[in-house]
């Protein structure tokens, strides 16, 4: 039986904060310090600005380790991904990722590990600088505060490592009831577990496929789903949502408080 306790769920990157600068910076540093690839040369100027190619590929990313792979391909000395070849890379995104893993004898677990090492190194060396690479969406933070005032709990489900998400949330003075990182399993399974003890009032996520999977799962299909218009969306994501998933704009968050 579902508890009378109410909870609202949030994705993290692209929903609560814009972490684009951090993604690029940490993935680039992972490539430079930990990857030991003979195919790249890291110029310090690369840290100054996030390339458009990376920004445009980002909506296809599901897990953090993929960003290390993408950055490697963008900064390669031979045949790097440039704007003119970006569309070809995106068109067969998953197949290309698998091919690059195989060509370099990499595995996702190790790439995730070096991304985590990159973040840990930066946090230990200069926490303020690292945390300031994240730009918060204050409208979302205010919405979370309002939910708290109404005794509605909040939960954050992210594919980032839990320890890193918690450090950023604490800096923003946000203390959700739960923070689940990639270590906790898929977002669908986490929602299933929470559903046993809570009435889930909604889930805000910027990955359309995740929301579709949530709606297709019998145990989570009743959860109201909101696609974050301000997140890392593909051009086509805003269309053909059907009645099951609502496109949510930052300005409309106030209306959700009426729940």
pLDDT band at residue 128 under the 50/70/90 scheme: very high
Give the pLDDT confidence score for residue 1 in this predicted structure. Answer: 45
Instruction: Please report whether residue 208 resides in a domain.
Output: yes
The four Cα atoms 242, 200, 257, 14 give a dihedral, to 10 degrees, of: -70
Give the pLDDT confidence score for residue 243 in this predicted structure. Answer: 82
Long-range pairs, 173-181, Cβ under 8 A, ≥24:
174/16, 174/141, 174/144, 176/10, 176/144, 177/7, 177/153, 178/7, 178/153, 179/155, 180/155, 180/156
Number of domains comprising the chain: 2
Could you tell me if 37 and 14 lie in one domain? no
Give the pLDDT confidence score for residue 259 in this predicted structure. Answer: 59
Helix, strand, coil percent values for the chain (each to nearest 5): 55, 15, 35
Q: Is the pLDDT of residue 3 over 80?
A: no
Mean pLDDT of the chain: 93
**This prediction's pTM:** 0.91
When pLDDT is averaged across residues 207-214 and rounded to a whole number, the result is 95
Domain span at residue 102 reads 20-131
Name the percent of the chain lying above pLDDT 90: 89
* DSSP code string of 94-155: HHHHHHHHHHHT--HHHHHHHHHHHHHHHHHHHHHHHHTTSEE-HHHHHHHHHHHHTT-EEE
DSSP strand pairing (17-18 vs 135-136): antiparallel
Could you tell me if 114 and 144 lie in one domain? no
Q: Is the pLDDT of residue 139 over 80?
A: yes
**Residue (of 193, 249, 237, 181) closest to 211 by Cα position:** 237
- Could you read off the pLDDT of 65-118 as tens digits, one per residue? 999 999 999 999 988 998 778 999 999 999 999 999 999 999 999 999 999 999
- Could you read off the pLDDT of 20-62 as tens digits, one per residue? 999 999 999 999 999 989 999 999 999 999 999 999 999 999 9
Instruction: Please report whether residue 1 resides in a domain.
Output: no
DSSP 232: S
Could you tell me if 111 and 139 lie in one domain? no
Q: Is the pLDDT of residue 180 over 70?
A: yes
Q: What is the CATH number of the domain that holds 200?
A: 3.40.50.1000
Residue ending a domain, choose from 71, 96, 131: 131
pLDDT higher at 257 or 111: 111
When pLDDT is averaged across residues 206-219 and rounded to a whole number, the result is 95
pLDDT band at residue 257 under the 50/70/90 scheme: confident
């Amino acid at each position: 039986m579902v508890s009378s306790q109410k909870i609202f769920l949030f994705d993290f990157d692209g929903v609560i904060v814009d972490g684009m600068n951090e993604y690029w910076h940490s993935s680039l540093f992972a490539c430079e310090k930990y990857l030991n690839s003979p195919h790249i040369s890291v110029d310090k100027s690369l840290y100054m600005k996030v390339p458009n190619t990376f920004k445009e590929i980002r909506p296809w990313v599901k897990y953090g380790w993929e960003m290390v792979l993408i950055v490697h391909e963008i900064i390669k000395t031979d045949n790097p991904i440039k704007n003119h070849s970006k569309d070809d890379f995106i068109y067969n995104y998953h197949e290309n990722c698998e091919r690059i893993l195989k060509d370099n004898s990499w595995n996702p677990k190790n790439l995730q590990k070096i991304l985590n090492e990159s973040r840990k190194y930066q946090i230990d060396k200069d926490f303020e600088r690292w945390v300031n690479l994240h730009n918060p969406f204050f409208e979302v933070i205010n919405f979370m505060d309002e939910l708290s005032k109404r005794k509605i709990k909040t939960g954050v489900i992210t594919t980032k490592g839990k320890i890193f998400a918690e450090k950023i949330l604490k800096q923003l003075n946000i203390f959700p009831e739960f923070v689940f990182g990639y270590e906790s399993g898929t977002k669908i399974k986490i929602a299933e577990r929470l559903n046993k003890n809570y009435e889930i009032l909604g889930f805000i996520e910027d990955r359309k496929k995740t929301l579709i999977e949530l709606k297709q799962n019998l145990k989570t299909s009743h959860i109201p789903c909101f696609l974050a218009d301000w997140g890392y969306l593909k051009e086509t994501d805003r269309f053909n949502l059907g009645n099951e998933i609502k496109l949510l704009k930052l300005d409309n968050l106030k209306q959700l408080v009426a729940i």
